[in-house]
A and B are shown apart, each in its own frame.
Chain A
Amino acid sequence: MPVENRRTFLLGAIYGLWGLIAAALGIPASVYLLLPPKARQDDEWVEAGDIAALKPGEPAEIVFRRNRRDGWKITSQKSTVWVVKTGQRDVAAYAPQCTHLGCAYHWDDRRREFLCPCHSSSFGLDGRVLSGPAPRPLDRYEVRVENNKLLLGRVRQSGGGGA
């Protein structure tokens, strides 16, 4: 019996200590790999360009530069946005990726809709899905207009709701 006890104790200690070591390495490793970086806040608003010449109902693609925090780097990146004038002072600015799988869509002037070349999703001027597999309307930038200058904030994902 004492031999059995001793064996039980040794086995318990071996498994217990290795368990502790595995936890002390495994938990920090998972946290390190899975949690997002504690990045400092980025500049909120980026100037995208002049929208004085925009006509209501005529989408325009505007190219602008924006700083992106990319891991340990901050890169100045060329970005585009589809802008539609929706009222005297109101504009909608759509992020340039199809909400289906991220392809770049374009404006089809003949059919008067945004058309994604990948899986033929199409979106209306208001960003709503007209046809195709896209799960939700086009994502919009937060928008501010000052003296006809378009300022873009973060991209907000549109809530569900298809065609």
Chain B
Amino acid sequence: MRRIADWLEHRTGIESAVRSFLYEEIPASSNWRQVFGSVAVFLFLTQVFTGILLSFNYAPTPGDAYNSVRYIVAELTGGRLIRGLHHWGASMLIVVVVLHMVQVFLYGAYKKPREATWMVGVVLLLLTLAYGLTGYLLPWDNRAYWGTVVTTQIAGKAPLLGPYVSRLLGSGGEIGVVTFARFYALHVLLLPPATLLLIGAHIYLVRKHGVAPLPGDEALPRKKFFPGQVFRDTVAIFIAFAILFTLAVAARVPLERIADPTDTSYIPRPEWYFLFLFQTLKWFEGPLEVVGAVVLPGLAVAALILVPFIDRGRAVRVTRRTAAFTAVTLAGVTWTGLTVAAVATTPKPVTPVQIDFSEPTDWMHLSPEELAGIGYFRGEACATCHNLVEGKAKVGPDLALAAPRKSAAEMIAHFQNPAQVVPGTAMPAVQLTGPQLNALAAFLLKLTPRNAAALQAAPEFAVTGAMVYQANRCGACHQVNGMGMRIGPPLNGLARRRDAAWVEQHFREPQKLSPGTIMPPYRFTPAEMKALSAYLFTLPE
């Protein structure tokens, strides 16, 4: 072992390189406050790692992109976790990079001779934001699409350069395959090497000038980086990682509907860290638009880069840096205010429930009768004795395999009087009304071994909604998924036409909203109303 190490050291000098890196001398005041840089590097490398893993199963073209992300989270073991790590890692990276910057700013660690370190840092912050912008598009769901529409439009607003930037991003007015290719290339081919290079330069500069000392450090003996500071960095990295991992497991990253340029009901919002910019945009109208979109952000970035040249005073104790504290507080308050305003003014979405499209959505294409059948199947606890497909052996037969061989009439006779149809069966009679039995049979007829698990995943609100729909015989006038009468308007695509408040009021007072309609008023319980309108709004087009 020793001989191999000696050989390596002699031929490459790696051991002494590591040694000189670890045993670098740092000021006596070095402390927990210096951990943010290491955490940022760690989070960046984690993003590289999870990003590469995602790219192993990702197709960077519209349409396929969406399907491959769905494949990753729904069909690959651990795929949802990896996507979660990448998604939340991006947010955490921004938080940590900003904390790092605030710490350096408050302590005035950018002062001579560390101006270049600071400026490289500002560029790294911008790169981090650029990942967010370009990565947003890649899942190609509605959120991705509309977020990018706004981004490219803003880029197009830049004075003089606007049209060129817009062309560079591949969005000559519209978003399509070219935009997608550009964003993907930026996100995975251009930005990562650029970031690695600049991180290298940043760390090189930190090492060259040494960690910034505090006033008074000169008199104290210097410490070694290893193991004390490495321990602090490790603990901080571990805490950050634990938070990231918890978020990735506990906070599901939904996949929305596939990108739909015609969806006028969609309310686009950027990631949380861009909300303040988004809110700023709202306040500059007409010809002033360019001020909010380009001029103000541009000035802010310029001011950040020039910080070491604006503040050229001698280094003083951090407690005396009132101006710096005031600046950070002001920036913090402004940012929070803008973000809160942006959140507060976001209209409630038309669809009251959010559907995770990475789950099977086969249930959406069932008729209301079949979907209600799932409700009766659950309500009658059929699953205590039956599997839908193969599973642990139960008393009754597996339904997806057995049911399709019977007719609805046979099944209903069997439900009502099991022993008469199958002598000797232990199955108790099902206590449902005629229409409910029809629904149950309709669902069972729809079952195949292929769709059983997907149908079983139908969300509770939709099933309840369909049961309310059936119980009130809505299908006598309306059509859903091609089933029912066409006396009233078909209900598919309702989300495009109306919002939840309108629909709920229309149930209570149809005459008021649609004078002359033959639809009678309905008195639903709040729970029924909620389930029914949520169900109607999730109907596919």
Contact = CB atoms under 8 A, between A and B. Distances in A.
B201 to A, nearest CB: 25
B78 A29 contact: yes
A37 B234 contact: no
Given A10-B227, A41-B450, A35 B70 contact: no
A17 B35 CA distance: 15
Contacts of A29: 49, 53, 78, 82
A24 B237 CA distance: 13
B449 A41 contact: yes
A21 B449 CA distance: 40
B454 interface: yes
A7 B53 CA distance: 36
B56 to A, nearest CB: 7
Contacts of A20: 238
Contacts of B227: 7, 10-11, 14
A161 to B, nearest CB: 31
A38 interface: yes
Given A24-B245, A25-B46, A33-B53, A14 B77 contact: no
Contacts of A13: 231, 234-235
A4 interface: no
Contacts of A21: 237-238, 241
A21 B76 CA distance: 22
A43 interface: yes
B453 A28 contact: no
Contacts of B46: 25
Contacts of B57: 71-72
A20 B240 CA distance: 13
Given A24-B245, A25-B46, A73-B67, A14 B234 contact: yes
A53 interface: no
Contacts, number: 76
Contact of B53 (A32, A41, A43): A32
A78 interface: no
B190 interface: no
Interface in A69-86: 71-73
A14 B78 contact: no
Interface residues of A, number: 27
A45 interface: no
Contact of A40 (B56, B82, B454): B454
A10 B235 contact: no
B139 to A, nearest CB: 13
B33 to A, nearest CB: 19
B64 interface: yes
Interface in B435-468: 449-451, 453-454
Given A25-B46, A41-B450, A31 B231 contact: no
B234 A39 contact: no
B241 A24 contact: yes
Given A25-B49, A31-B77, A32-B79, A17 B71 contact: no
B56 A33 contact: yes
Contact of B231 (A10, A37, A73): A10
Contacts of A40: 450-451, 453-454
Interface string B17-59: 0000000000000000000000000000010010001001101
A43 B450 contact: yes
Interface of A: 7, 10-11, 13-14, 17-18, 20-21, 24-25, 28-29, 31-33, 35, 37-43, 71-73
20 contacts: A7-B227, A10-B231, A13-B234, A17-B238, A20-B238, A24-B241, A28-B78, A28-B81, A29-B78, A32-B77, A32-B81, A37-B71, A37-B76, A40-B453, A40-B454, A42-B450, A72-B59, A72-B67, A72-B68, A73-B64
Given A25-B46, A28-B82, A29-B49, 10 more contacts: A20-B238, A21-B237, A28-B81, A29-B78, A32-B76, A33-B53, A33-B56, A37-B75, A71-B71, A72-B71
